[in-house]
Structure 1
Amino acid sequence: MSKNSYNVYRRGGRFTTKDLARIVVFSVLMVVSKVTTQFVPIPVAGLHGILYVPLSAVFMLTGVGLVRKAWTATTIGFVAGVVGLALPGGPGVLDLPMLVITGIVVDLFLMAVRRNIGDSAAIAAIAGFLPVIFTTWFMLWGLRVVFGVRMPLMTFLLIFIVLHGALSALGGVIAYGLVRRLGR
């Protein structure tokens, strides 16, 4: 394992003040990117995710790569969700569980492979892509249960998993580059 490894069993695995500061910074960047992309003049309504998805992946995965401790992504997702609830015009109530699910999936993947974002671009791309699958199913369930909207499954899967998955994987590769350059 390299020095960047995602060692869950490392002594002193608690977050330091520096770690918490990084977590808060990257959480706020995620929320700000979601709020500000709403103001970008994209001609088709609802396509703001094309900007938000890779940006949120970059911010979450860069935070995970720099902090290098277990459950960092989950903490970043939770803090981003809570901050988003406090902002007027920020992400909605359903974004909190989606951000936490995203963090849990990233953390479990990195624990399973025992690597970190700064170890390889492939690991970072997979860590960016995997949460899209779970959040897509959560969105599908949320649309059906909460709003009573039934979307054709193939359309939903093609639009969200393929498009958002590719963008999130790209965000993971960008996060890999940032972690390698920023280092410690």
Structure 2
Amino acid sequence: MKKLALVATGFVCAGLLGACSSQGMATSNKDMGQQTAKAGARQPSGKKVKEFSLQGVDGKTYRLSDYKGKKVYLKFWASWCSICLSTLEDTNELAKEEAGKDYVVLSVVAPTFNGEKSVADFKNWYQSLDYKDFPVLLDNKGDLLKEYGIRSYPSALFINSDGTLSKSHVGYMNKEDILKTLENMQ
């Protein structure tokens, strides 16, 4: 009986871990999963990252070019992703620490894509959280997801100060590893 309970618990845990990478791929925008797959693999390191301009939850417009000369930690996440939610405190702390540093922290959510809430629902939900030190950019059309080949959450891009891709990362990454990556970038 104990073995059966252990096996069942193992399946439940594996299912929960997989949820952040696959939830919603067939929801909301049915063809998003196909479009993302067609976008190809992640961009190779050293390649110039395409410019973007997105509105934040705060109403401001954010452009990648605004951060020329700084390293950029660009985190893609979703409100339904438990791993993403568990790392928001670290993201907030990194953003608090960025003053006077050579990096900036940005995060991206794609409303109505991959199971994410609508823009209005996401904004209402996000206002109840206490993470005010990093901007949350809204990829309303899913263009950044497609451009950067984002297929699961959390995912991150590390962009060098010259606008080239240093590294992409899928899955959990602790604050110390993020800082080490930022330190080792150009």
TM-score by length of structure 1 reads 0.29
Higher relative contact order by CA 8 Å / sep ≥ 6: 1 or 2? 2
Task: Return the TM-score normalized by structure 2.
Answer: 0.29
